[in-house]
Amino acid sequence: MNRRRQTGFTLVELLVVIAIIGVLMGLLLPAVQYAREVARRNTCSANVKGLAMSAISHENTRNQYPRWVKSFGDYNGPNDPADPSNPFNSPHVKLGSWAVAILPFADNQPTYEIWSENKYPLFSTSPAESAGNDGYSKNAAPNLSLFICPSDTRKNPFKEGKNSYIANNGMAFNASMAPYQYDRAGNSVTVDFARVQSKANGVFKNGFAGSSGSAVVPAMRAEDVVDGLRTTLLFSENVLARPWHHVILSDTPANHVSALGGGSPLYPYGSQYIHGMVWHRFDDQGAGGASLPPNSAKINGGNLKTDIMDATNMFLFARPSSMHSGGVNGGFADGSVRFVSESIDYRVYQALLTPRGKSSDVPFFEYVLRDDAT
């Protein structure tokens, strides 16, 4: 008697095949994710390279590095030629960040002209034109790929002007915090704004005094980077950074509008921190009586998934952070880009931010940076 030949799969065979496919997928997916992250990290590195080269071009052309905040001119109305439907016509000072300053050197001249020509307002009250909830015009605050790390996947409350990068704004200025109340010899002193902005303490400086009289210090040039261009950071990443066009935590037209009689806005307190990295008078070995750095002030410190920068923590969160594993991309004053480990000693971090460490106000100013320290 002839038996029918079985042509299908048994249940056991199907289960074995499914199990093999599952194992292969389990092996393949991490590799795919890793490849994607490598590509995102490389794109981020290219962005940081672009920022560094733009700042170097700014220094070469204008004989100074960009400021962390400055006025780019005034707007006096009567309407916006780029958006005739925009009814906003309040005179205002165009206060912008270092990111605005490098726009013409980063292939974004049209956006720069919105900031630098007095016929264009920065703000809009047109519903179709207003950028997010802060009132900026979309022409003044577009999303630019140069300022966005593709690995920065945190939910951003701002629709426009998204930003993942920060500049070397030097020594932190927060007189209410005890670690800043000592000089190089460990003596108690009053720390003022001008001292914080010493050329030895950082690269980017304040460029707007405003009606509050905050000090505007002399220009910082490449020749002032005594410790070496390749060992001095210009830019890095921070997933908590505020929009690139903001000059204060909650930026609104009121921060820019001129007072009657040709007055000037107040100095935008906080502009050093919201898209800047700073160093504090901390030391991992307690030199000069300095306290140990808290985790939140270190590279990738804090909880990057839940932390939000606000007025109570911006001094500490003005430090590099990223969604890359193990560290951050850093752009140096010679145009190079290197990956900076999150585990570096705080002295190394201070050395990367101080153009002249031995003349700076770091607790251990005799520290000599080694090439393998990062």
pLDDT per residue over 217-260, tens digit each? 888 999 999 999 999 999 999 999 999 999 988 877 777 776 54
| 1 is a domain residue | no
Which one has a higher pLDDT value, 339 or 35? 339
Mean pLDDT (whole number) for 171-192: 64
Which one has a higher pLDDT value, 305 or 1? 305
Residue with tokens 């002399």: 218
pLDDT at 285: 93
| 311 is a domain residue | yes
pLDDT at 130: 53
Tell me the range of 51-65, 74-88, 191-205 where mean pLDDT is highest. Answer: 51-65
Which one has a higher pLDDT value, 167 or 290? 167
Split into its structural domains, the chain has a count of 1
| 374 is a domain residue | no
| 205 is a domain residue | yes
pLDDT at 183: 64
Tell me the range of 60-64, 85-89, 206-210 where mean pLDDT is highest. Answer: 60-64
Handedness of CA 307, 311, 312, 313 (dihedral sign): positive
Answer whether 113's CB lies under 8 Å from 101's CB.
no
Please check the confidence at residue 374 and state whether its pLDDT lies above 80: no
312: left (phi over 0), alpha (psi -120 to 50) or beta: alpha
pLDDT at 217: 83
Which one has a higher pLDDT value, 2 or 207? 207
| 367 is a domain residue | no
Mean pLDDT (whole number) for 328-336: 98
Beta-bridged to residue 278, according to DSSP, are 170
pLDDT at 261: 47
Selection from 71, 147, 357, 326 nearest residue 233 by Cα: 357
| 365 is a domain residue | no
pLDDT at 290: 85
Q: How confident is the prediction for the chain on average, in pLDDT? A: 86
Mean pLDDT (whole number) for 270-277: 94
Please check the confidence at residue 106 and state whether its pLDDT lies above 60: yes
pLDDT at 372: 75
Q: How large a percentage of the chain has pLDDT more than 90?
A: 55
pLDDT at 29: 67
pLDDT at 260: 40
| Cα 264 to Cα 257: distance, rounded to the nearest angstrom | 8
Structural domain harbouring 285: 11-359
pLDDT at 262: 54
Answer whether 166's CB lies under 8 Å from 236's CB.
yes
Selection from 54, 300, 47 nearest residue 150 by Cα: 47
ω into 66 cis (within 30 of 0)? no
Answer whether 336's CB lies under 8 Å from 45's CB.
no
| 103 is a domain residue | yes
- Taking CA atoms, 261 is separated from 89, 258, 266, in Å, by 17, 8, 15
How many C-beta atoms surround the C-beta of residue 24 within 10 A? 10
Query: Tens digits of per-residue pLDDT, 275-317?
Result: 999 999 899 998 888 889 999 999 999 999 899 999 889 999 9
Which one has a higher pLDDT value, 50 or 3? 50
| Cα 305 to Cα 196: distance, rounded to the nearest angstrom | 31
| Cα 183 to Cα 191: distance, rounded to the nearest angstrom | 8
Please check the confidence at residue 176 and state whether its pLDDT lies above 60: no
Please check the confidence at residue 174 and state whether its pLDDT lies above 60: yes
Mean pLDDT (whole number) for 193-221: 86
Contacts of 261 (CB under 8 A, 6+ apart): none
| 30 is a domain residue | yes
